[in-house]
């Protein structure tokens, strides 16, 4: 028990020798280095049990006061995917026509994006992640803490888990995203956070030639 009288468990984390740590770190880094955001999907179905395992991994994330302020909606129903595509394209049309700044347009040029989002219908699954700004228990609002950080970490683990399993994702944030909660019938405390199309890349899928910063550009030693 801890000092509040709450139950505790022994921690089960194996102590690995240095070379094994390095080898495992290197292999994970290599695995993650091949992850790319994909916008051209095959329509081939993905196994739901694989998605479930990846969502379980995401659900293991740390969160403020362990509130786990997230819902993962796995959408495979074609009519729902179509509605989501139409909702996203309505916002994106406005974004690319009016809301985008010249500077932002230039920043997006290497990605080749536009208002059209056919991948939202073609990808076999869309995982819509909702952030619980608060929870409602017995009609009372209960505050959650650090929800953006918590859900961001969970989504990072989800993207890593899907990639590690062998599935491609796109981290998609049509803005604003209120249409997602409406289409999927989420309550007012759940705010759409990000939309992840998931599947296999289409045959011949190409991705932009992007550069990732080297260690020396992102890590400081003090």
Would you count residue 108 as binding ligand IYR (CB under 6 A)?
Answer: yes
Of 119 and 132, CB closest to ligand IYR = 119
The CB-of-39 to ligand IYR minimum distance in angstroms stands at: 9
CB-CB contact of 110 with 29 (8 Å):
no
Would you count residue 173 as binding ligand IYR (CB under 6 A)?
Answer: yes
CB-CB contact of 90 with 120 (8 Å):
no
Half-sphere exposure of 101 (CA within 13 A, CB side): 3
Would you count residue 90 as binding ligand IYR (CB under 6 A)?
Answer: no
What are the structure tokens assigned to 97, written together? 């026509």
Contact residue for ligand IYR among 174, 177, 180, 197 (CB under 6 A): 174
Contact residue for ligand IYR among 48, 65, 106, 111 (CB under 6 A): 111
Closest CB to ligand IYR: residue number: 113
Of 40 and 92, CB closest to ligand IYR = 92
The CB-of-126 to ligand IYR minimum distance in angstroms stands at: 14
Instruction: Using alpha carbons, select from 204, 123, 111, 130 the residue that is nearest to residue 169.
Output: 123
**β-bridge mates for residue 136, sequence order:** 141
CB-CB contact of 190 with 128 (8 Å):
no
The CB-of-167 to ligand IYR minimum distance in angstroms stands at: 20
Would you count residue 92 as binding ligand IYR (CB under 6 A)?
Answer: yes
Count residues binding ligand IYR (CB under 6 A).
9
Cα–Cα dist 105/90, whole Å = 18
Cβ contacts of 91 within 8 Å, gap of 6 or more: 174, 175, 176, 177, 179
Would you count residue 113 as binding ligand IYR (CB under 6 A)?
Answer: yes
Contacting residues toward ligand IYR, per CB under 6 A? 92, 95, 108, 111, 113, 172-175
């Amino acid at each position: 028990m801890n000092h509040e009288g709450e139950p505790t468990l022994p921690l089960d984390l194996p102590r690995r020798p240095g070379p094994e740590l390095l080898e495992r770190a290197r292999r994970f880094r290599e695995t993650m280095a091949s992850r790319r955001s994909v916008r051209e999907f095959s329509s081939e179905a993905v196994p739901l049990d694989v998605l479930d395992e990846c969502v379980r991994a995401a659900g293991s994330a740390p969160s403020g006061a362990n509130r786990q302020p997230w819902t993962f909606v796995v959408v495979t129903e074609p009519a729902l995917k179509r509605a989501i595509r139409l909702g996203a394209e309505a916002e994106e049309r406005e974004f690319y026509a009016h809301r985008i700044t010249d500077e932002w347009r230039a920043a997006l040029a290497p990605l080749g994006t536009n208002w059209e989002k056919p991948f939202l219908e073609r990808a076999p699954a869309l995982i819509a992640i909702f952030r619980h700004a608060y929870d409602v228990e017995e009609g009372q609002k209960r505050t959650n803490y650090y929800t953006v950080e918590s859900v961001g970490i969970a989504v990072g683990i989800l993207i890593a888990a899907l990639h590690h399993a062998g599935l491609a994702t796109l981290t998609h944030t049509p803005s604003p995203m209120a249409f997602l909660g409406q289409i999927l019938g989420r309550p007012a405390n759940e705010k759409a956070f990000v939309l992840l199309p998931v599947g296999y890349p289409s045959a011949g899928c190409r991705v932009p030639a992007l550069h990732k910063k080297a260690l020396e550009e992102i890590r400081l030693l003090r």
